[in-house]
Amino acid sequence: MSWQPLLGQERAAPYFAQLKAQLQAARAAGTVIYPPEADVFNAFKLTPLDKLKAVILGQDPYHAPNQAHGLAFSVRPGVRVPPSLANMYKELALEYADFTIPAHGDLRSWAEQGVLLLNTVLTVVANQPNSHRKLGWEQFTDQVIRQISAQTENTVFLLWGSHAQKKARLINGEQHAILQAPHPSPLSAHRGFLGCGHFLQTNSLLTASGKGAINWHSVCQ
């Protein structure tokens, strides 16, 4: 299985042509958009469909300079760890006694193991969170979620916060595992995200289905 048939079909759709034209025009006019154009589809490049084990769903990319690089919750090496990711690390330390909280926020090692770090919106204007909401990305990523549900088996979906949880309707809950918790942001992490046990649960589910556990500790190395 490859992403190409799905991505190719969606990119050929009229809504995507309009989305692409709007992005190109904005960039040409000097609007700073994150992540850089070459990084927009990194989640798909780093996590092939036939290697997919889990999906962690974010909202839109980080909007400050040098942060976003196409993976939900992840930032480039050398960039300060954002608060939501810091809480994800705290949760990992609660679940695994030997987890050492990293000083960086680069999650590519998870992506390379089969964790699709997918934002529902793939671009954002600098310093303007949610600025590309309803530009067309939601239609694209909803279709991605539907196809993951249809084309894979025993994928674990981690839906944190109300925005992500709305996507549960796109997933066959009998075919896949859906884990839901509050968002890891400082506003809600203490309302149930911290202590949710999702990283251990994910590995238990993956092991039971024969897919193999994720080495969450890879970010510590």
* Beta pairing class for 115-119 and 124-125: unpaired
C-alpha–C-alpha distance, residues 76 and 81, integer Å:
9
CA distance 120 to 6: 16
**Catalytic position from the list 60, 98, 106, 142:** 60
- Residue 197 CA to residue 113 CA, distance in Å, equals 20
User: Where would I find the beta strands (DSSP E) of the chain?
Assistant: 33-34, 54-58, 115-119, 124-125, 156-160, 177-181
Q: Give CA–CA dist 167/147, Å, rounded.
A: 13
35 secondary structure, DSSP code: S
Please report, as a single letter, which amino acid is at residue 22: Q
CA distances for 67 relative to 88, 102, 124, 185, angstroms: 17, 16, 12, 16
Listed in sequence order, the residues at least 6 apart from 173 whose beta carbon sits closer than 8 Å to its beta carbon are none
39 catalytic residue (yes or no): no
Which residue numbers are catalytic? 60
